[in-house]
Structure 1
Amino acid sequence: MRIAHVTDVYLPRLGGVELQVHDLASRQRSIGHEPIVVTTTPAPSLTEADGLARQFAHVPVVRLGDGALAAGPYRGVSHRELAHVLDGFGIDAVHVHLSTFSPLSWSAARLSVRTGRPTVVSVHSMWNDVLPLVRGYARWHGARTWPVTWAAVSTAAAAAVQEALDGAPVSVLPNGIDPDAWRRPSARRSGDVPTLVSVSRMVRRKRPRALLHTLLELRAARRFRAVLVGDGPLVPALRRDVAAAGAGADITLTGALDRPAIRDLLAGADLYLAPALRESFGIAALEARSAGLPVLARSGSGVGDFVAHGVEGWLAGSEDEFRAAIAGLLADPARLRAAAAHNRAVPPRIAWGSVLAAADQLYDRAAAPRRAGSPQAQGPSGQGPRGQGPRGRDPRTPLAGAGR
Structure 2
Amino acid sequence: MKVALLSDCYPPRTGGIESQVSDLAVHLQAAGHEVEVFTATRGAKGERGGTVETVDGIPVHRMALQLPRDIPVNPMAPPMVRARLQGGGFDVAHVHLGVVSPFAWDMARVTTGLGMPTALTFHCVLDKAALTLRPALRTWTGQGAVLSAVSDLAAAGVRHAAPGVPVGVVPNGIAPGEWPAGPVRSTARPLRVVTATRLAPRKRVGALLRVVADAHARVGPGALVLDVFGDGAMRALLESHSAALGLGDVVRWRGSVSRSELAGHYRECDVYLSTTRLEAFGIAALEARTTGLPVIARADSGVGEVITDGVSGLLAADDAGLADALVRLTADSTLRTRIAGHNASTPPSQSWEQIADLVVGEYLRAGA
Is 1:111 aligned to residue 95 of structure 2? no
**Larger mean Cα displacement after TM superposition, 161-170 or 323-332:** 323-332
State the match for 2:192 in structure 1. 195
Q: Deviations over 1:149-172 (max 9, x none)?
A: 111111110111111111311111
Q: Distance in 1 between matches of 2:235 and 2:73?
A: 24
Mind listing any 5+ residue stretches in structure 1 that lack a counterpart?
A: 48-52, 369-404
State the match for 2:84 in structure 1. 85
Q: Distance in 2 between matches of 1:318 and 1:121?
A: 32
Q: Distance in 1 between matches of 2:68 and 2:177?
A: 43
State the match for 2:10 in structure 1. 10
1:323 is displaced (CA, Å) by: 1.7
State the match for 1:387 in structure 2. none
1:38 is displaced (CA, Å) by: 0.6
1:245 is displaced (CA, Å) by: 4.6
Structure with larger Rg = 1
Change in Cα spacing, 1:35 to 1:191, as seen in structure 2 (3 Å) is closer
Change in Cα spacing, 1:309 to 1:242, as seen in structure 2 (3 Å) is same
Q: Distance in 2 between matches of 1:125 and 1:183?
A: 27
- Give, as a single letter, the amino acid of the residue that structure 1 aligns with 2:172: N
Q: Distance in 2 between matches of 1:114 and 1:240?
A: 49
Q: Distance in 2 between matches of 1:195 and 1:59?
A: 39
Contact (CA 8 Å) 1:179, 1:290: kept in 2 or not?
Answer: yes
Change in Cα spacing, 1:266 to 1:83, as seen in structure 2 (3 Å) is same
Contact (CA 8 Å) 1:184, 1:264: kept in 2 or not?
Answer: no
| Bigger relative contact order (CA 8 A; separation at least 6) | 1
Give 1:4-403 correspondences, 5 Å limit. 4-45=4-45, 57-64=56-63, 66=65, 72-77=71-76, 79-135=78-134, 137-139=136-138, 142-186=139-183, 188=185, 190-222=187-219, 223-368=223-368
SS at match of 1:25: helix
Change in Cα spacing, 1:199 to 1:150, as seen in structure 2 (3 Å) is same
Change in Cα spacing, 1:231 to 1:166, as seen in structure 2 (3 Å) is same
SS at match of 2:58: coil
Change in Cα spacing, 1:237 to 1:363, as seen in structure 2 (3 Å) is same
Q: Deviations over 1:215-259 (max 9, x none)?
A: 123222221111111111111112223344553332211011111
1:71 is displaced (CA, Å) by: 8.4
Mind listing any 5+ residue stretches in structure 2 that lack a counterpart?
A: 48-52
Change in Cα spacing, 1:355 to 1:244, as seen in structure 2 (3 Å) is same
SS at match of 1:344: helix
1:304 is displaced (CA, Å) by: 2.1
Q: Distance in 1 between matches of 2:70 and 2:199?
A: 21
Contact (CA 8 Å) 1:281, 1:301: kept in 2 or not?
Answer: yes
Q: Distance in 1 between matches of 2:264 and 2:71?
A: 33
CA RMSD of aligned residues (A): 2.4
Contact (CA 8 Å) 1:4, 1:37: kept in 2 or not?
Answer: yes
Q: Distance in 2 between matches of 1:66 and 1:196?
A: 40
Contact (CA 8 Å) 1:112, 1:148: kept in 2 or not?
Answer: no
Change in Cα spacing, 1:101 to 1:230, as seen in structure 2 (3 Å) is same
Q: Deviations over 1:294-334 (max 9, x none)?
A: 11111122212221111111221112212222122222222
1:44 is displaced (CA, Å) by: 3.0
Change in Cα spacing, 1:298 to 1:249, as seen in structure 2 (3 Å) is same
1:186 is displaced (CA, Å) by: 1.2
- Give, as a single letter, the amino acid of the residue that structure 2 aligns with 1:84: A
State the match for 1:394 in structure 2. none
- Give, as a single letter, the amino acid of the residue that structure 2 aligns with 1:288: A
Q: Distance in 2 between matches of 1:212 and 1:120?
A: 39
Q: Deviations over 1:64-95 (max 9, x none)?
A: 26479998211103643322011222211100
Percent of pairs with identical residues: 34
**Larger mean Cα displacement after TM superposition, 323-332 or 229-238:** 323-332
Q: Distance in 1 between matches of 2:258 and 2:230?
A: 10
Q: Distance in 2 between matches of 1:8 and 1:77?
A: 13
Change in Cα spacing, 1:113 to 1:250, as seen in structure 2 (3 Å) is closer
